[in-house]
A and B are shown apart, each in its own frame.
Chain A
Amino acid sequence: MTHALTDDAVTKDGCAIRASGVGRVFAGTKGHQVIALDDVHLEVAEGEFVSLIGPSGCGKSTLLRIVADLDHPTSGSLTVFGKSTHQARVDQDYGIAFQQAGLLPWRTVAANVGLPLEVHGVARSDRQTRVEELLELVGLTDFARSYPDQLSGGMQQRVAIARALAESPRLLLMDEPFGALDEITRERMQAELVRICSETGAAVLFVTHSIPEAVFLSDRVVVMTPRPGRIIEIVDSRPTAGHARDDEFRDAEEFFHTIARVRELLHGGPVAAARGVETR
């Protein structure tokens, strides 16, 4: 993913996301406070793929929502392409895929994919061409005229991903987008995502519960811990020079090595027999 740095649209600091000292405290019941995020420092370079991993409740979604301007930090600051999150949202600098597909049930698959284009006033004919491209990409061309309730959960999720990609955003925010997919589709979608990212040079902030998924997709894996939500360590998971991110990489020694490293961090100590135990 080297060509990301030569992208035309490099911002002044070269950062897609820059979080410095971000904290988010929720006022819980009876004055009890939940520290969802505490002192999070993270920089995601343009074109870089960064995964967030950690046990449930460690603030992964919260961080992603703050980037998307759906929530606000209670301390620290966060910028997207050097702008405030509000400005980045108004400028449509990112695409987003939630854990739920969140399709509009009264619209066809094609109309769902074209929704962001429609919101931003793209002409009908341009919209059609783009939607066809996107459906081709996620392998749903034959379902363009179907309605979401006629699709399986995994297919719906693919529609949602196509929708997130509609405006070729420079930044993709994805919250467990493959959680609902079966293993085979999941690996295919992962390969697709790798391809899309290298083609478009988009930066990605990706939330997942799957260690191999994080390691396979990412340049860096951010390992987090709950209560309070903090970053423990950031693991470099870029394949060494000469290796591509393909199915062979899934069997490579360094892949398992990185998986073991991430798992160790998540379990708070070395874990025996990491290799080959969990391959998801």
Chain B
Amino acid sequence: MSLAATERAEATLRMRPLRDARFTTLLAPALLGVATIGLWQLVVDVFNIDAFIVPSPQSIWSEFLDSRSSIWHGMLGTGRNALYGLLIGAALGILGALVANAVKVIDLMAVPIVAALSVVPIVALAPVLYTMFGAAANTARVIVAALTVIIPVYVNTLRGLRQVKVVHRELMHVYAARPVFVARAVTLPTASPYVFTGLRIASSLAVISALIAEYFGGPVDGLGKAITTAASSSNYPLAWAYVLGSILLGLAFYVVTLLVELRVARHSSPSTSTVSL
């Protein structure tokens, strides 16, 4: 989907109450999903496709049920790394944006760093980090996740901090309000929809990068490692069952951030836009 289309979809989602949005946001995609899976099953059955090319949804599902405890275990392992990465990265991103917003020089100095970090595929650092922190620890994976999270959170927060309306700033000036009060009453509430947009993008990225980082080494307690192991032992339905587990994990992260956002930022300005990278 193009950026503009995403923005429009978000705008409509935000302005309607949740229960009105239910049909279009939940039922319609669900129908599409069911149709796709049905078609998939049909194609695999009719053309007798081999499991190493693409296994049938049915075989993936039965493998998923059989191995659900080890999949759950993998989700916990990868999920923990992603969560730590998300929390650390988000904290650093928000903090960095606050500093950059307050000190112009730091903002200017950060521009090339941010640009560089946003074009570097951060998972590519994983092998290097494994040698730095040891392949027995999860440190490298948390760092990879945190690094991917920092950028979208930083960029969106900084943009949000700059949305403070002139009339609000002047009002605070007229009240001779202290800087801490201004931050609490005006700046942070203005920025919060943008911060959440950043967090929503970041939450999925955290899971993806924590998982991909497992492909490059480290301890064997995550989904990424499980996928590679199952694939190399030619157990394709199992590999796909782990992929299904990863999808669920990514969704869980996304939905939780979305719910927190809906609770916190209900009456902030409806015209929120996204900066994605």
One of B171, B185, B267, B270 near A102 (C-beta < 8 A)? B171
Q: What is the interface of chain A, defined by CB distance below 8 A to chain B?
A: 68-70, 89-90, 92, 96, 98, 100, 102, 104-106, 115-116, 118-120, 147, 149
Given contacts A102-B165, A106-B267, A149-B267, contact A120 B189 (CB under 8 A): no
Report the Cα distance A64→B151, complex, angstroms: 43
Q: Is the CB of A104 within 8 A of B186?
A: yes
Among B165, B170, B186, B265, which residue has its beta carbon within 8 angstroms of that of A70? B170
Asked if A104 and B185 make an inter-chain contact with CB atoms under 8 angstroms apart, the answer reads yes
A119 touches B267 (CB 8 A): no
Q: A102–B167 contact, CB under 8 A?
A: yes
Tell yes or no: B12 within 8 A of A by CB.
Answer: no
Which B residues are in CB contact (< 8 Å) with A69? 173-174
B176 at the A interface (CB under 8 A): yes
Task: Specify the main secondary structure of chain B where it touches its partner.
Answer: helix
User: A89 vs B173: C-alpha distance in the bound complex, in angstroms?
Assistant: 9
Query: Is B36 part of the contact surface with A, judged by Cβ < 8 Å?
Result: no
Q: In the complex, which residues 151-190 of chain B have their Cβ closer than 8 Å to any Cβ of chain A? A: 165, 167-168, 170-177, 181, 185-186, 189
In contact, A115 and B185 (Cβ under 8 angstroms): yes
Check A104 against B168 for contact (C-beta < 8 Å).
Answer: yes
**Total cross-chain contacts (CB, 8 A):** 48
- The A-contacting residues of B in range 113-156, CB under 8 angstroms, are none
B228: chain A residues within 8 A (beta carbon): none
Max chain B C-beta neighbours (<10 A), residue from A89, A96, A119: A119
When chains A and B are docked, how far (Å) is the Cα of A90 from the Cα of B175? 8
A147 and B267 contact, Cβ closer than 8 Å, known pairs A104-B168, A106-B189, A115-B185: yes
Q: Do B268 and A119 touch (CB < 8 A)? A: no
A90 touches B170 (CB 8 A): no
Cross-chain contact of A89 among B167, B174, B267, B269 (Cβ < 8 A) = B174
Whether B177 contacts A119 by the Cβ 8 Å rule is yes
Given contacts A100-B167, A115-B185, contact A105 B269 (CB under 8 A): yes
Chain A residue contacts of B269, Cβ below 8 A = 105
Tell me the smallest distance from the CB of A106 to a CB of chain B, in Å.
5
Give the complex CA separation of A96 and B170 in angstroms: 10
